[in-house]
Amino acid sequence: MAKDGLPKQAEDFPAWYQEVVKRSGMAENGLAKGTMVMKPHGYAVWEHIQRALDDRFKATGHENLLFPTLIPKSLIDKEQEHLDGFSPELTIVTIGGGEVLEEPLVMRPTSETVIWPTYGKWMQSYRDLPFLYNQWCNVFRWEKRTRIFLRTSEFIWQEGHTAHATADEAKEEVARMLEVYREVAEDVLAIPVLTGKKTPAETFPGAVYSLAIEGLMRDGKALQSGTSHFLGQNFSRAYDCQFLNQDGEQEYAWGTSWGFSTRMVGGTIMAHGDDRGLRLPPAVAPVQVVVVPIYKNDEERSGVLEVAEKIKTTLAGNLIRVKVDDRDQYRPGFKFSEWELKGVPLRIEVGPKDVAADQVVIAHRVSGEKQTRSTADAIGQVAGLLADAQKAIYQDALAYREANTHEIESYESFAEGVEAESGYWVGPWCGDEVCEAKVSSETKATIRVVPLEPTDPGGACIVCGKPGTQRATWAKAY
């Protein structure tokens, strides 16, 4: 850890982000341009996210499978012909085993183009459906400007791809998975999210409509945090994926896809971090409790370490992720700063006087508070304190979002306001993409979502003054 402090969030948020990611040991740039190395502290957060999602996927009836990374280029081209397709910049293999390939292979940017032709082989009758499948994998999108976790040329995600016998069933699936994402974002990552529908301009190409959850970062920018798409019959038509329906007729299957990625490790950093570093929600913190022994000589050392180890053993037995920082080469103050930087929710300090008084000091990363407790009380209370910290960090983020959500009074005040203060700006919109485009070109703010169900727009379109049809939420976004 560098000696000098972090950049201040309020002064230079991107610099703060870059430094906190690096110094906390979350990740760093890889040796190939645009790639990242997820270091143990960052990867462990991702593992907790994975587990939280995967458990919920399975509880909602899904199974995992895995398709190959490499896709024959002709299948990608077919998507371009049939759908106004997704056009990420592709990463292309042209040499294998020392020979130039007859047909180049594309490293998957997403897997619809290889999954749908395969689903076509797997389905005969409506009785075979639904296919409720998901895969955990890496995907590749050649990016010119990259930022760790948020935009890299390779990232890890899960992509769910389901096929259904009816449109209604597929739509229910799309809503169900959005709800899974909302739950993981709010209950696990402690990030309050808006749920809603993307405008047609922001819909995944190939989808009929796209739902999303959006979180607000501490620089006032929105982060699209998970998307769930109703594909209609678009991909099944493009890849000739039919089944015999209940009426004995061939029908194209109805599809969905939904994804959540390592981007959300970045989201967790930016939604909760402060000028001292990360603040990790206990549910995903790799270390939930760090015990720091304080001592000046060998005799003190053995006394405090004995207590520290006892605390560790008891907590670990209760499945709490706990670590004793017994490194001799660093002073306690250095350790305190380092674990604060790493976002560990609770720190327990044990010094010689504490040992004598059978007490410890508990320091809370979220609130910044400190309390002295008897050792037994402290051990007994840790699970409850972690649960409190999980709630408190969510409440902090919710309060931040509320303080940064603005009702739009007029287009002028909005355009000025969104420059100065980011956050969400909410107001009526006529639904015309001309108005949408005018706002985004003049203010850099885009419509993040409109409500899932139509609501009272509450007035005339803030841009053109024609009757509003929807209430839109604008923000600058990652």
* Positions in the binding site for a second copy (CB under 8 A): 30-32, 35-40, 42-44, 47, 63-72, 75, 89-98, 104-105, 107, 114, 117-118, 127, 133, 137-138, 140, 142-144, 153-154, 156, 327, 329
Query: What residue spans of 123-248 are helical by DSSP H?
Result: 167-183, 234-238
Contacts of 187 (CB under 8 A, 6+ apart): 283
DSSP class of 34: T
Q: Which is nearer to a second copy, 31 or 356 (CB)?
A: 31
Shortest CB 231 distance to a second copy, Å: 19
Q: Which residue, 156 or 175, has its beta carbon nearer to a second copy? A: 156
| Complex with a second copy: residue 97 or 384, whichever CB lies closer | 97
Taking the complex as a whole, how short is the minimal distance between the CB of residue 235 and a second copy, in angstroms? 15
Residue 47 CB, nearest distance to a second copy (Å)? 7
To the nearest whole angstrom, how small is the minimum distance from the Cβ of residue 124 to a second copy? 11
Q: How far is the CB of 264 from a second copy (least distance, A)?
A: 15
Residue 154 Cβ vs a second copy, minimum distance, rounded to whole Å: 6
- We find the least distance from the C-beta atom of residue 133 to a second copy, in angstroms, to be 7
Which residue, 42 or 255, is less far from a second copy as judged by CB? 42
The span from the CA of 322 to the CA of 318, in Å, is 10
Give me the least distance between CB of 25 and a second copy, in Å please.
10
Report which DSSP code applies to 185: I
| Phi/psi of residue 370, nearest 5 degrees | -130, 145
Collapsing DSSP states into helix, strand and coil, what is residue 321?
coil
By beta-carbon proximity to a second copy, the closer residue of 16 and 119 is 119
Least distance in Å: CB of 353 to a second copy? Answer: 28
Nearest to 345 by CA among 331, 359, 326, 365: 365
**Token output for 80:** 């371009």
Nearer to a second copy, 97 or 248 (CB): 97
| Nearest residue (CB) to a second copy, 111 versus 443 | 111
Which H, E and C letters describe 254-265, residue by residue? EEEEEEEECHHH
Q: Give dist(CA 212, CA 436) in Å, integer.
A: 18
| Angle CA 411–398–54, to nearest 5 | 115
Q: Which is nearer to a second copy, 64 or 302 (CB)?
A: 64
Give the neighbor-by-neighbor strand order of the sheet with 346-350.
322-324, 289-293, 346-350, 359-364, 370-374
CA distances from 286 to 53, 181, 247 (A): 17, 21, 53
Q: Contact 259/226 with Cβ under 8 angstroms?
A: yes
Going by their DSSP bridges, the two strands 359-364 and 370-374 should be labelled as: antiparallel
- When the beta carbons of 92 and 464 are compared against a second copy, the nearer one is 92
CB of 66 to a second copy, least distance (A): 4
Residue 140 or 400 with smaller CB distance to a second copy: 140
Q: Strand 131-140 relative to strand 63-64: parallel, antiparallel, unpaired?
A: parallel
Q: Considering the complex, what minimum distance in angstroms separates the CB of residue 99 from a second copy?
A: 9
Closest CA to 48 of 229, 290, 309, 319: 319
Rounded alpha-carbon distances, angstroms, from residue 211 to 73, 204, 289, 473: 29, 10, 37, 14
* Residues whose CB is less than 8 angstroms from the CB of residue 15 and which lie 6 or more positions away in sequence, other chains included: 7
CB 156 within 8 A of CB 149: no
Q: Which is nearer to a second copy, 99 or 369 (CB)?
A: 99
Q: Running DSSP on this structure, what letter comes out for residue 57? A: H
Backbone angles phi, psi at 106, to 5 degrees: -105, 135
Cross-strand pairs, 347: 290, 363
Nearest to a second copy of 138, 455 (CB atom): 138
Minimum CB–partner distance for residue 406 and a second copy (Å): 38
Beta bridge partners of 107: 70
CB 84 within 8 A of CB 49: no
- Nearest partner of 179 among 46, 47, 57, 45, judged by Cα: 57
